[in-house]
Amino acid sequence: MKRYIMVLLCIWGILCTAAAYGFDVKGLQPLQPNGVFSTFSTSTNPAGVFATQFELEHSVDPTSYQVNASFSVAVTDAIEISATMPYHMKTGESGFEDDAIGIKDRFIEEDQYTPSVAALVVGSVPSGRDVISTDGRIGGGLIFSKKIGPFKTHANALIYSPFKHDLNTEVDFMLGSELQAANNISVLTEVQTKKSSDINKFDYWDWKIGYRFRPLDFLYTTLSAGYGFKTRYPDLHVFLSFTFISPPAGKILKYIYEEEKE
């Protein structure tokens, strides 16, 4: 029943509309390794695993910075709760954006011919400065993941309805792919397009490429560069993130001891 409620909430978010303004917010972000930069995958950590992620984004010309702190906990092997607290640093616009919290539920598992599918429901509270706040918003959508040859490919279709009366509905489409180049290194790439809150057309197009490195059982380091082909934001931005997993993935083991009988 709870999964049908989540899907209904996603549809409700798609049907909600508003009107126009002029900025983009970061919103909920995926934690590594269960995503490609901003693209969510259907993967979740094993039940009981907690993750913390810190990301720094540097945009060039004009210069601005974004610091995102994200957290997640796996409720079951298929359901994960996560949250993101973004802080934006730019002349005249510095301050916290709205905090976002979401629930991801993988309700279809991948098989030989079809992808795995997850529903994502996201809500934001009006905790940011007025100039970079939407007064909160609600939304979500669907996530698809499929292994195609050596690549793991993920597609997202997400929509958000802000509570601020002069903002339009935001629509995001993302396509991410990852290739495991070595035992602890993956090459990542992502394409994102967005219909922003103030314009009724897709005015944001961005491409990112980078890698994810796992030097320790409990640590993922991700470095990437992005280029905006058609956007109001700076063309070039660089990302660096650190994700900490507890308990470490390498420590999640089950031992079976058999007592010898004499």
Structure tokens at 132: 């970079």
Task: Answer yes or no: is 142 within a domain.
Answer: yes
What is the rounded CA–CA span in Å between residue 86 and residue 129?
A: 12
What's the rounded mean pLDDT across residues 183-212?
87
Please state the pTM of the whole predicted model. Answer: 0.83
Task: Answer yes or no: is 259 within a domain.
Answer: no
Could you report the per-residue pLDDT of 27-82, keeping only the tens digit for each? 899 999 999 999 999 999 999 999 999 999 998 866 788 999 999 999 999 999 99
Task: Answer yes or no: is 261 within a domain.
Answer: no
Task: Answer yes or no: is 260 within a domain.
Answer: no
Determine the structural domain holding residue 244 and report its residue range: 2-251
What is the rounded CA–CA span in Å between residue 225 and residue 245?
A: 24
The total number of structural domains in the chain stands at 1
What is the rounded CA–CA span in Å between residue 63 and residue 49?
A: 36
Residue 164's pLDDT is what?
Answer: 82
Task: Answer yes or no: is 257 within a domain.
Answer: no
* φ, ψ (nearest 5 deg) of residue 6: -60, -45
| CA 125 and chain centroid, separation | 17
Confidence grade of residue 196 (pLDDT, cut at 50, 70, 90): confident
Task: Answer yes or no: is 104 within a domain.
Answer: yes
* Residues forming beta bridges with residue 260, ordered by sequence position: none
What is the rounded CA–CA span in Å between residue 15 and residue 29?
A: 23
* Residue 255, pLDDT above cutoff 50: no
Residue 23's pLDDT is what?
Answer: 52
Where does the chain have alpha helices with state H?
2-15
What is the rounded CA–CA span in Å between residue 233 and residue 62?
A: 8
Q: CA quadruple 23, 172, 120, 185: dihedral positive or negative? A: negative
Task: Answer yes or no: is 258 within a domain.
Answer: no
Kind of pairing between the strands at 236-246 and 50-60: antiparallel
CATH number of the domain to which 212 belongs:
2.40.160.40
Q: CA quadruple 15, 19, 22, 27: dihedral positive or negative? A: negative
Task: Answer yes or no: is 256 within a domain.
Answer: no
Among residues 103, 110, 116, 146, the alpha carbon closest in space to that of 3 is found at 103
